[in-house]
Amino acid sequence: MASVTYKNVYKRFGDVTVITDLNMEIADKEFVVFVGPSGCGKSTSLRMLAGLEEISEGDIMIGDRVVNDVPPKDRDIAMVFQSYALYPHMSVYDNMAFGLKLRKTPKAEIDRRVKEAADILGLGNLLDRKPKALSGGQRQRVAVGRAIVREPAVFLMDEPLSNLDAKLRVSARAEITKLHKRLGTTFIYVTHDQVEAMTMGDRIAVLADGILQQIDSPRTLYKRPNNIFVAGFIGSPSMNFFNATIVQEEGKMIVDTGDFRVEIPAEKQATFKDVVGKEVVFGMRPENIHVPQYAPPGIVAAPFDVTIEVVELLGHELNIFATSGKNSLVATVDTRLEANVGNKIGLVMDMGQMHIFDKNTEMAIR
Amino acid sequence: MQQIEAKAPESAGAKLVALILRVALAVAIPLIAFWVLYQGFLFLRDSDAPKAVIVLVAIIWGVGGVAALYWIFNWLVEQLPGDWTARLQPFVFVGPAMAILIWYLTLPVYRTFWLSLFDRDGFPVGFSVFKPWTWITGIQSPSFVGFANYTNLFTERLLQEALRNNLMWIVFGSTLSVVTGLLVATLADRSKSERVSKTLIFLPMAISFVGAGVIWNFMYEVKPPGEAQIGVFNAIVVALGGSPHPWDKWVAIAPWNNLFLILIVIWLQTGFSMVLFSAALKGIPQELMEAGRVDGASELRIFFNIMLPYIRPTVITVWTTIVIFTLKIFDVVWVMTGGQFGTHVIATQFYRQSFTARNSGIGSAIAIVLLLTVVPVLAYNLRQLREGQEGF
């Protein structure tokens, strides 16, 4: 059990800097998810913590100990790999026991821990099998089991679910969350899947181009994204962005996209008074755009008109891809809407949920 | 073929016709090929064109002729109704190879086995291994000795020596080739000069066994004490204050002088094992080693507990392949010592008995013993290769 700290960490491969000035404090027993598109440096950050990549600059601490030059085996960590990396020639039992045997743990203790882990993961009757005789889900659980038996201070997981089929992934997700509660250990989990990130993490660290964009709870990340990248990355379908100007007319403050104009609620006007007359990026999540007759009560509705281009009915939700002049947008609306391609319809935006970003810095204005 | 047959269940008649056609293809193609090639040979032999032209024509005639033959037969088979094409097409290509293999390999083995049952006078007049009705006269003839050649083989001193030496070749030759190959592959994999070092170690592979023998004869060259030593080994030993030795021809340390012959083959074969091990090592997923590192394994542990088991199929394949090489070893011994100084091996004894002593009976017996020793290793080798290909 330990906290983890990244302090001004850089990682360079030759001339290429893949991690820039990473600062992060992860509390003991916290479940933190690193998320970002491929190549954003999330795996590299994890591998530096594991000791599988050297740190070019800065410090990584586990607990109070700087581990920059500590070999992986002495860092008191365990890791679950994307490919599971099970030893193919060893039985499930030996796979789990290998790390303990190397540490000269007494035999009875090894047996106890392996049996316990096998119970937790439902592997009890598979202990004699070789990995190749296991299904994908079973292999994944063995990989987790191999980490559990070590009773490490920090649990590292590098996209452990990405090789599972969609259905299994959902249940495995819940199992890992349960496991975290049960073990009470620090978990650091890497994924490119924002649904995994949102559902599992106490906090989520969003990385892009080797730079930490934001680290916050899932709710904060969704409600108050720091910048355009985070706003666009979290949420599905992605947030709609419109180039717009903020104009002030007769005591009203209006977002003018050139094609449609929506009014900013009175209580928010103070926030944006500095950007009046400037070009900004206006953000609105698809789920905050509604069909007027089915709009939930209590929203600050701002009407505008669109032409429907594509309609996707997913059963529980209806996504419409539409255009308003030169702007295109997605709206997740009530499934009762009878939408046809080519129809011109009126929609409303919930301006209580609006986002405004600086056009140059891409940072949120709030 | 099984799949195809499963798709279209055929009548017994169709099966029989298919069988006949398949055999006909297997026999006809090589026969026509040989005839065409022979006509080409006669034509070229009797022509007085410049040598370069003859060589060119021979190459075009030989390669092109055979290719054309396959092409024509393939085309013919493709003109047949669909299911008949499916039945016959594989045999256009596999059939001739099988037929030639039977003719060149299986039949001679069969004949050699019969020869091993007779003494040095061989088959009596009128006897043929392919005419079962002559077998009785053969067995009744005075030159028929049954399995006496085999019992002699295991009791005669020179042959016992050959068997012992072959055992040394297997134990030291193949094992050390595997160990050095593995060592070099592992170390080169982590070295910056991987390409250069691997190329250097692979180079001897390009040298024939006979060529290597000539080279190493110079390495082991011995001159009387006092004279300048031109052999590398003796030059070093003398420079260090020792006295020169004839190494591979050093009877006083027999049978250990065999090790100096084995060294040559290790020199030749390390490159082979290195290349295969190198490929296998690069095929180990990086994450597997990383998992070992996180689990707490030292690099040595990772090598023995993770990498080695992972490439086990390759190790076995390489090891058995070199065992087969060493079982059949002949050239090196023949060039270096001619089998003297206690260095005879099965193959040199076979040659000596068959062609020097002109005892075809015992020579054949040795050949059969050699074959019987190689076959299980070969079978194991092939099985491992198949399993290795299936992989994890």
Mean pLDDT of A215-243: 93
Sheet (strand A318-324) strand order: A289-290, A344-350, A301-313, A318-324, A327-333
H-type alpha helices, chain A = 42-50, 92-102, 107-121, 136-148, 166-183, 194-200, 218-223, 228-233
By C-alpha distance, the chain A residue nearest B291 is A85
- Side by side, the strands of the sheet bearing A4-13 are A16-26, A4-13, A57-62, A65-66
Task: Specify whether B65 is located in the same domain as B166.
Answer: no
Judge if B129 and B216 occupy the same domain: no
Asked whether residue B302 falls in the same domain as residue B198, the answer is yes
User: So what's the pLDDT on residue B388?
Assistant: 59
The CA angle A38-A40-A46, to the nearest 5 degrees, is 100
Same domain, B132 and B188: no
Which residues on neighbouring strands pair with residue A156, listed in sequence order? Answer: A79, A188
Any domain includes B102: no
Q: Does residue B92 lie in a domain region?
A: no
Instruction: Note whether residue B227 is domain-resident.
Output: yes
Average of per-residue pLDDT values in chain B:
86
Minimal Cα distance from B306: which residue of A?
Answer: A87
Mean pLDDT (whole number) for B300-305: 92
Domain boundary among B128, B146, B164: B146
Looking at residue B389, its pLDDT comes to 58
Q: Mean pLDDT across the stretch A309-319? A: 91
B287 vs A73, A81, A131: nearest CB? A81
* Domain match, B64 and B131 both: no
What pLDDT was estimated at residue A284?
95
Report how far residue B345's alpha carbon sits from residue B327's, in angstroms, rounded to the nearest whole number: 8
Q: What is the pLDDT of residues A161-182, one digit of tens each?
A: 988 888 888 888 998 999 899 8
Contacts B296 to A, Cβ<8 Å: 72-73, 99, 102-103
B254 occurs within a structural domain: yes
User: What tokens does A260 get?
Assistant: 């449609």
Q: How confident is the model at residue A273 (pLDDT cuts 50, 70, 90)?
A: confident
Task: Identify whether residues B130 and B63 lie together within a single domain.
Answer: no
With 0-12 / 13-18 / 19 or more C-beta atoms within 10 angstroms meaning exposed / middle / buried, residue B378 is: middle
Segment B139-163 mean pLDDT: 85
How far is it, in rounded angstroms, from Cα B337 to Cα B225?
Answer: 21
Owning domain of residue B126: 116-146
- Provide the β-strand partners of residue B215: none
- The amino acid at residue A96 is M
Mean per-residue pLDDT for B66-73?
Answer: 88
Pick A8 or B49 by higher pLDDT: A8
Q: Does A153 touch chain B (CB under 8 A)?
A: no
Residue B142, Cβ density class (10 Å: 0-12 exposed, 13-18 middle, ≥19 buried): exposed
Domain with residue B228: its CATH number is 1.10.3720.10
Task: Provide the domain count of chain B.
Answer: 3
Per the CB < 8 A criterion, the answer to whether A4 and A60 are in contact is: yes
The per-residue pLDDT for range A38-59, each reduced to its tens digit, is 889 999 999 999 999 999 999 9
Is residue A68 classed exposed, middle or buried when 0-12, 13-18 and 19+ CB atoms within 10 A define those classes?
middle
B53 domain residue, yes or no: yes
pLDDT single digits (tens) B227-280: 788 888 888 888 888 888 887 777 777 788 888 889 999 998 899 899 999 999
- Rounded to 5 degrees, φ, ψ at A347 are -125, 170
B22 and B71, same domain (yes or no): yes
Shortest alpha-carbon distance between residue A294 and chain B (Å)? 52
B88 assigned to some structural domain = no
The answer to whether residue B172 sits within a structural domain is yes
**Helix (H) / strand (E) containing B142:** none
Residues of B in contact with A51 (CB under 8 A): 293-294
Q: Which of B290, B293, B295 to mutate to test the interface with A (most CBs of A within 10 A)?
A: B295
Helix, strand or coil for residue B81?
Answer: coil
Which whole-number Å values give the CA distances from B54 to B40, B43, B49, B64, B67, in the listed order?
Answer: 10, 10, 7, 15, 19
Q: Please tell me the predicted confidence (pLDDT) of residue B222.
A: 82
- For B356, the token pair is 């020097």
Residue among A193, A233, A196, A195 at smallest CA distance from A212:
A233
Q: Is the pLDDT of residue A323 over 90?
A: yes
Asked whether residue B298 is assigned to any structural domain, the reply reads: yes
By three-state DSSP, how is residue B2 classified? helix
Please tell me which of the candidates A51, A52, A89 has its beta carbon nearest to residue B309.
A89
pLDDT band at B391 (very low <50, low <70, confident <90, very high): very low
Q: Does B310 touch chain A (CB under 8 A)?
A: yes
Quick one: pLDDT band at residue B161, thresholds 50, 70, 90?
confident
Q: B303 CB near a chain A CB, below 8 Å?
A: no
Q: Which of B124, B146, B168 is the last residue of a domain?
A: B146
Query: Is a pLDDT exceeding 50 seen at residue B112?
Result: yes
Instruction: Identify whether residues B15 and B133 lie together within a single domain.
Output: no
Mean pLDDT within B303-325: 90
| B34 and B125 housed in the same domain | no
Q: Residue A296, Cβ neighbours under 10 Å: how many?
A: 9
Relative to beta strand A327-333, strand A318-324 is antiparallel
- Please report, as a single letter, which amino acid is at residue A347: L
Say whether the peptide bond before residue B255 is cis (omega within 30 degrees of 0). Answer: yes
pLDDT band at residue B4 using 50, 70 and 90 as cut-offs: very low
pLDDT digits (tens, 9 = 90+) for A142-160: 999 999 898 899 999 999 8
Cβ-Cβ contacts under 8 Å, B311 against chain A: none
| DSSP bridge partners of A136 | none
| pLDDT for position A228 | 95
Range of lowest pLDDT (A298-302, B107-111, B138-142, B210-214):
B138-142
Asked whether residue B279 falls in the same domain as residue B379, the answer is yes
Nearest Cβ partner of A50 from B294, B297, B309?
B294
Q: Is the pLDDT of residue B318 over 60?
A: yes
Q: Does residue B68 share a domain with residue B7?
A: yes
Q: What is the pLDDT of residues B327-367, one digit of tens each?
A: 888 998 998 888 888 888 888 888 988 888 888 888 899 88
State the Cα–Cα distance between residues B356 and A51, nearest whole angstrom: 68
Residues B168 and B130 in one domain: no
Residues in chain B: 392
